[in-house]
């Protein structure tokens, strides 16, 4: 059975364009124009196998996407949520990511970008039920979290414990953005969430060890103002 996507978007044109594009890609699409619609569809979908992925626009006519996210998570729905934000530098996007959304896209975006994000999110959803990702490969970089082993082009790379914790956190969500706050809380502790300068320092050290040209990273990518993203794994 095809994967079911809940698309919550209040703009009619964009909604129908996205719906058609996703149907062409083989997804089953439930489209909602408001939070109320989305609630309705969610309840209905429970009985028919549930939702596999949510595309959530911010700033809906009857409230903010945040309400839906918390409702979803309360109902123990593990479907990944991708936030679609029209606002370039607004905090709600980051708040949603911190609150458990899986990724974000800023309008306007290309279809290719959307499909790539959806693929990554769906892959992670699979692993949410199974054991977490512990291996990562990209070019010559191999990371094995269980064995605490990192190698680049076959040569062992030595990382400090903090560097390793930071890298491991990114590997667990490879391909997806991890916010500054999430990284700081998970690697340093909840009281360090404002200490962004730690992150800058350790990311620079990691890039120096793992990237051919640290100023032009291919793996440890920066999402300005939001966080970091480890490039999608590739053999």
Q: How far is the CB of 217 from other proteins (least distance, A)?
A: 5
Decide the pairing of beta strands 81-85 and 53-57.
Answer: parallel
Binding of other proteins by 223 (CB under 8 A): yes
| 127/145 Cα distance (integer angstroms) | 15
* Cα–Cα distance measured from residue 28 to residue 26, given in angstroms and rounded to the nearest whole number: 7
Give the Cβ contact number of residue 81 at 10 Å: 26
216 touches other proteins by CB under 8 A: yes
Q: Would residue 134 be called left, alpha or beta, if left means φ above 0 and alpha means ψ between -120 and 50 degrees?
A: alpha
196 makes contact with other proteins (CB under 8 A) = yes
Dihedral angle, C-alpha 190, 193, 195, 196, nearest 10 °: 140
Under the binding rule (CB under 8 A), the answer on residue 212 touching other proteins is no
How many residues bind to other proteins according to rule CB under 8 A?
34
92 contributes a contact to other proteins by CB under 8 A? no
- Name, in order, each residue with C-beta under 8 angstroms of 223's C-beta and a sequence gap of 6 or more: 177, 229
Applying CB under 8 A, among 207, 210, 219, 233 the residue interacting with other proteins is 207
Name the segment binding other proteins (CB under 8 A); options: 7-15, 44-52, 122-130, 196-204: 196-204
Contact with other proteins (CB under 8 A): which of 3, 54, 203, 210? 203
Residue whose structure tokens are 């699409």: 29
Alpha carbon 184 to its chain's center: 17
Site string for other proteins, 19-58 (x = CB under 8 A): ----------------------------------------
Q: Can residue 123 be called a binding residue for other proteins (CB under 8 A)?
A: no
Positions that interact with other proteins (CB under 8 A): 88-89, 91, 108, 110, 148, 156, 158-162, 164, 180, 195-198, 200-201, 203-205, 207, 213-217, 221-225
């Amino acid at each position: 059975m095809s994967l079911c996507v809940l698309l919550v978007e209040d703009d009619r044109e964009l909604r129908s364009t996205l719906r058609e594009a996703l149907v062409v890609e083989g997804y089953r699409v439930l489209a909602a124009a408001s939070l109320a619609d989305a609630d309705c569809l969610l309840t209905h979908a429970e009985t028919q196998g549930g939702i596999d992925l949510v595309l959530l626009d911010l700033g809906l006519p009857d409230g903010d996407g945040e309400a839906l996210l918390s409702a979803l998570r309360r109902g123990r729905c593990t479907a990944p949520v991708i936030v679609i934000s029209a606002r370039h530098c607004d905090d709600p996007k980051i708040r949603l990511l911190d609150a458990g959304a899986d990724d974000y896209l800023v309008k306007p975006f290309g279809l290719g970008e959307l499909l790539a994000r959806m693929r990554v999110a769906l892959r992670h959803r699979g692993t949410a039920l199974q054991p977490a990702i512990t291996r990562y490969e990209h070019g010559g970089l191999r990371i094995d979290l269980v064995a605490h082993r990192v190698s680049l082009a076959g040569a062992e790379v030595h990382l400090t414990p903090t560097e390793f914790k930071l890298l491991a956190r990114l590997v667990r969500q490879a391909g997806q953005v991890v916010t500054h706050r999430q990284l700081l809380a998970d690697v340093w502790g909840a009281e360090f969430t404002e200490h962004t300068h730690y992150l800058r320092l350790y990311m620079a050290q990691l890039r120096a060890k793992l990237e051919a040209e640290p100023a032009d990273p291919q793996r440890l990518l920066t999402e300005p103002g939001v966080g970091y993203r480890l490039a999608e794994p590739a053999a």
